[in-house]
Structure 1
Amino acid sequence: MQIDAGRFTVRLAQSEEDIAAAQRLRYKVFVEEMGAKPTPEDAALRRERDRFDPYFEHLILIDNEAPTDDPLERVAGVYRLMTGERAREGIGFYGATEYDLTKLEQLDRKVVELGRSCVGAPYRGGAAMHLLWTGLGEFVTSRGIEIMFGTASFHGADPAPLAHALSHLHHNHLAPEDLRVRARPEHFVPMDALPPEQVDRKLAARQIPALIKAYLRLGGFVGEGAYVDREFNTVDVCVLMDTARMVARYRDFYGRESSSAR
């Protein structure tokens, strides 16, 4: 797959150099901006990588007009994608290190794990994320994917200041039982620290990262419990999207709109 959109191209990584460029962008965002802790080897190379990378497919957004001849500096946005088939054949899902994914692993439906999503600072607020999502949509459609999931992060490794946001997610966006994965018991952080009536919805909205909000607008849910990732300096939640439920949600919404317009 490949999408050409003027200045940008979206495609799957085709070489080790492509993957290295994705890892360079991830280093800039997750290490230099967000405070993740790299190994000495990764710091020397300025690449954020892990043992799962060889098993993922890497969706990259390339800036064809980047003011550099260094191919490692031309990637403007990334996603990494692990289908259920590849997970079973290889190393498994990355998210299984944080969540019990048994419910997803036992589904008779096609699944993809989304991870390491980021856009370089100069490209935020523009078309970059939209183009990445267009590429993701083409990937999901072409592979017949029905369930998308992955961990999404709040900056900072202390869940206490995020009580309003986490409680709001738990009370309003908890996944249905058949998809409700749960943080592993040894790392489980309750997300319902506050009862619904004590949640400041405006504060919660300010605290929830834009990417998580976007997933929720598409009809996404969250799993039960959060996970503190001290190496990445984040509090993680597991976000899940069921394409069948998403279609039903938008059909209902537009049906109501049509009825009210008559």
Structure 2
Amino acid sequence: MQIRMPMLSRGRYGARLADTAHDRQAAQQLRTLAFRTDSPDWDHFDTCCAHILVHDLASDALVCCFRMLMLEGGAELARSYSAQFYDLEALEGFEGRMVEMGRFCIHPDWHDPDILRIAWGAMTAFVDENRVEMLFGCSSFAGTETAQYLDAFAMLKARHLAPKRWLPRVKAPDVFRYAARLRRKPDTKKAMLRMPPLLRTYLIMGGWVSDHAVVDRQMNTLHVFTGLEIGAIPDSRKRLLRAVIG
């Protein structure tokens, strides 16, 4: 399968597909820095994914990266990173092309919101070029303690749970079953302050999440399975995303 994505530039940033071993090593180095891992951040998924790089055009500094794993449909979900942590049997009947987005990170010294905008623009271009019908992945909260995120999880329960036909089941040994355990009404302001920026954008687009979070002590994160059906994105949001592409 040939993966395609046009080069994209907007303002001071440009996004492109990695096309050399050096590009992939640069992405791994940025991930190691951003995730603060003790050893270089790489795994066998790196060899079968497309890697998208966002550079500052003036300095050529790598400021953001993520990887995309293309699947022809739900029958291939066992190949995904997420399948290690979630029982995705309910999604195996999805017939459209799917892409798993993973290892998303922004350089810790760069805080420009335009970086996230062009990253989503690059994802949009990738989805359009490759006729993708569902985007999915694991959306991570920093750390493994749930107390600081209870309002965020309460909001996920109240507004953003996956449709029953797609709902992932528990597979990982250590999970926080927030949908079953939480009875609180979310404080919207606190919830949005604690919501990871990438997940917040998924939700604005109409994304949905699993009813439990996986406690990943190796990566020092809590993460929820997140899905976004491309056909369900509101037209107004699609126009905003494609405006970045130009």
TM tier, smaller: 0.7 to 0.9
User: Residue type matched to 1:21 in 2?
Assistant: A
Please state if 1:61 is matched with 2:61: no
User: Gaps spanning 5+ residues in structure 2: where?
Assistant: 1-5, 239-246
**1:114–1:149 contact (8 Å) kept in structure 2:** yes
**1:61–1:77 contact (8 Å) kept in structure 2:** yes
In structure 1, which of residues 105, 115, 129 is the aligned counterpart of residue 92 of structure 2? 105
- Structure 2 CA distance for aligned equivalents of residues 122 and 159 of structure 1: 26
- Structure 2 CA distance for aligned equivalents of residues 135 and 243 of structure 1: 15
Shift of 1:58: 0.4
TM-score, normalised on structure 1?
0.80
- Structure 2 CA distance for aligned equivalents of residues 223 and 21 of structure 1: 32
Q: Secondary structure at the match of 1:129?
A: helix
User: Residue type matched to 2:16 in 1?
Assistant: R
Shift of 1:89: 7.7
Q: Secondary structure at the match of 1:81?
A: strand
Please state if 1:230 is matched with 2:230: no
Offset from partner CA, 1:81-134 (integer Å, 9 cap, x none)? 011149978981001111112223331111110111111134322422111111
Aligned to 1:216: 203
Please state if 1:8 is matched with 2:1: no
In structure 2, which of residues 173, 182, 198 is the aligned counterpart of residue 194 of structure 1? 182
User: Which structure is higher in helix share?
Assistant: 1
Moved >3 Å (runs of 4+): 4-7, 85-91, 247-251
Shift of 1:158: 1.6
Offset from partner CA, 1:128-161 (integer Å, 9 cap, x none)? 2111111110100111111111101111112233
- Structure 2 CA distance for aligned equivalents of residues 242 and 146 of structure 1: 6
Q: Secondary structure at the match of 2:176?
A: coil
Aligned to 1:50: 43
Aligned to 1:254: none
Provide the aligned length of Structure 1 versus Structure 2. 232
User: Residue type matched to 2:51 in 1?
Assistant: H
Q: Secondary structure at the match of 1:52?
A: helix
User: Residue type matched to 1:60 in 2?
Assistant: L
Q: Secondary structure at the match of 1:180?
A: coil
- Structure 2 CA distance for aligned equivalents of residues 121 and 75 of structure 1: 11
Shift of 1:233: 0.9
RMSD: 2.5
Identity %: 29
**2:154–2:182 contact (8 Å) kept in structure 1:** yes
**1:103–1:180 contact (8 Å) kept in structure 2:** yes
Aligned to 2:110: 123
Shift of 1:196: 4.4
TM-score, normalised on structure 2?
0.85
Aligned to 1:28: 33
Offset from partner CA, 1:202-222 (integer Å, 9 cap, x none)? 322222122211111111111
Shift of 1:25: 1.0
- Structure 1 CA distance for aligned equivalents of residues 20 and 73 of structure 2: 18
Please state if 1:80 is matched with 2:67: yes
Tell me which structure has the larger Cα radius of gyration.
1
Shifted more, 178-187 versus 125-134: the winner is: 178-187
Shift of 1:244: 1.4
Q: Secondary structure at the match of 1:76?
A: strand
Shift of 1:7: 3.9
User: Gaps spanning 5+ residues in structure 1: where?
Assistant: 43-47, 68-73, 252-262
Shifted more, 6-15 versus 209-218: the winner is: 6-15
User: Residue type matched to 2:24 in 1?
Assistant: I
